[in-house]
């Protein structure tokens, strides 16, 4: 059986299983892994299996495209494309993010300053819609409205079954340069100049991101493809990538290790599990040092409340999870960092510039304008008398005050009116009614804010 034949059989199976779900049950896609941080306590629903929709159907090195099933992880996809000297335009940081998840939700990385977000290199989407149809949506056919509204819809319009994406050539190695700054304003100015010129020190750049360690310690990291490398660093064992940013000016990685440089330590979040200590790290198998393992540990703690119990026993204040990715215009980036340091105080913070290449109604970024994504993930002690959501609400208010935007993969606290104003309800509801008139799937507010 060919890969495409197997895909057609899997599509028919999921269509039939979707039709068999009772009308009063909310369908929920069952996935082997997840990178969402919207936990549903006690939520019910009928599970829709996607286990047979996780393969790369074809990589075509001539047209530089790939046909990929929606639940395929980027780890699997990258292995298939690198074998042909190609990569997706944007490869999100964590191995088990799925292509369908990145297209319908959030995906960003250090190529986003030029190539936007993952959905912007999609040519075609095969979608199981909320009303049970299988449609093939492109920007030039009768389902253009669905194609354009699918990004940031988080499975509320339908599920991606097959995706055709554009690919671009790679070279075997990446040369990194970490540029230090002692001032956030100067850092944002430099990041903007590098992104808009596509150059640093007179040489073209292929990758740009940055790290905030504190008000006086920021770095912009630029990467450039290379055919040869004088040495290669390895951050999949005892050495930790984010710490190298503070101690090295120049570094070299293989293209595969570069793409997954953040995954081994889940950026810096592995420290919460003691994995960055020398003894634990030396004893822990390398195959366990990856983001999906840490995410499962977080899920177990969420279920059993181990850390909260230990904190109570030690007399520690209640902690609020502050796990978000937000975007603000680069001109307001320093202002956001000042606010974040003063009011939240979490560090490090990831900084990733991005520029949307087109208009996407549910991802309302101004096309051609440079934004900076700030990613921060951890817990913060709540002030006396405050309750869960205190910090996240502060951040939501500040982001929109700065003409920014917030991803919906984690907790949100918007009122219904605020939400539909910020996330373009005027554009969302006509598409929702066209492809899920019966409301079988939750709407975007119920799913991403109310957490139903």
DSSP 45-107: -EEEE-TTS--EEEEETTTTEEEEETT-BHHHHHHHHHTTTEEES---SSTT-BHHHHHHS--
Q: Residue 364, class by beta-carbon neighbours within 10 Å (0-12 exposed, 13-18 middle, 19+ buried)?
A: middle
Rounded to two decimals, the pTM is: 0.93
pLDDT surpasses 60 at 199: yes
Set out the domains of the chain in order of their start, with CATH numbers.
3-170 (3.30.465.10), 173-261 (no CATH), 305-413 (3.30.70)
- Give the range among 22-26, 199-203, 304-308, 441-445 with minimum mean pLDDT: 304-308
Residue-level pLDDT at 305: 65
**What band does 42 get if pLDDT is binned at 50, 70 and 90?**
very low
CB-based contact 236:286 (threshold 8 Å): yes
**What band does 33 get if pLDDT is binned at 50, 70 and 90?**
low
Query: What is the rounded distance in angstroms from the CA atom of residue 364 to the CA atom of residue 356?
Result: 9
Question: Could you read off the pLDDT of 310-361 as tens digits, one per residue?
Answer: 556 666 667 898 999 999 999 999 999 999 999 999 999 999 999 998 889 9
* Bond into 46 cis (ω within 30): no
């Amino acid at each position: 059986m060919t890969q495409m034949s197997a895909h057609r059989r899997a599509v028919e199976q999921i269509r039939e299983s979707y039709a068999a779900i009772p009308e009063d049950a909310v369908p929920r896609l069952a996935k082997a892994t997840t990178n969402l941080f919207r936990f549903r306590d006690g939520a019910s629903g009928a599970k829709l299996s996607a286990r047979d929709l996780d393969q790369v159907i074809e990589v075509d090195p001539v047209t530089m495209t790939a046909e990929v099933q929606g639940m395929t992880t980027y780890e699997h996809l990258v292995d298939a494309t690198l074998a042909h000297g190609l990569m997706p335009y944007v490869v999100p940081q964590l191995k088990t993010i799925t292509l369908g998840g990145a297209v319908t939700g959030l995906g960003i990385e250090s190529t986003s300053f030029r190539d936007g977000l993952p959905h912007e290199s999609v040519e075609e989407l095969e979608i199981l819609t909320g009303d049970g149809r299988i449609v093939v949506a492109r920007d030039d056919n009768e389902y253009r409205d669905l194609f354009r509204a699918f990004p940031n819809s988080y499975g509320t319009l339908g599920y991606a079954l097959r995706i055709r994406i554009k690919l671009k050539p790679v070279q075997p190695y990446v040369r990194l340069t970490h540029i230090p700054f002692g001032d956030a304003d100067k850092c944002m100015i430099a990041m903007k100049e590098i992104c808009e010129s596509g150059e640093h020190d007179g040489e073209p750049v292929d990758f740009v991101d940055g790290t905030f360690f504190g008000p006086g310690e920021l770095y912009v990291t630029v990467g450039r493809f290379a055919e040869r490398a004088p040495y290669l660093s390895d951050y999949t064992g005892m050495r930790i990538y984010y710490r190298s940013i503070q101690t090295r000016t120049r570094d070299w990685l293989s293209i595969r290790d570069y793409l997954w440089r953040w995954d081994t330590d889940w950026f810096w979040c592995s420290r919460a599990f003691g994995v960055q200590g020398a003894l634990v790290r030396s004893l822990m198998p390398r195959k366990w040092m990856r983001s999906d393992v840490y995410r499962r540990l977080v899920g177990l703690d969420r279920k059993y409340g181990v850390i909260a119990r230990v904190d109570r026993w030690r007399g520690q204040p209640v902690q609020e999870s502050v796990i978000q990715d937000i975007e603000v215009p680069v001109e307001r980036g320093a202002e956001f960092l000042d606010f974040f340091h003063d009011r939240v105080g979490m560090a490090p913070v990831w900084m990733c510039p991005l520029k949307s290449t087109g208009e996407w109604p549910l991802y309302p970024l101004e096309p051609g304008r440079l934004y900076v994504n700030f990613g921060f993930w951890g817990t913060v002690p709540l002030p006396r008398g405050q309750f869960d959501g205190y910090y996240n609400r502060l951040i939501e208010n500040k982001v929109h005050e700065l003409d920014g935007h917030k991803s919906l993969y984690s907790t949100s606290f918007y009122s219904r009116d605020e939400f539909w104003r910020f996330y373009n309800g005027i554009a969302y509801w006509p598409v929702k009614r066209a492809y899920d008139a019966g409301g079988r799937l939750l709407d975007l507010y119920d799913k991403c804010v109310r957490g139903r």
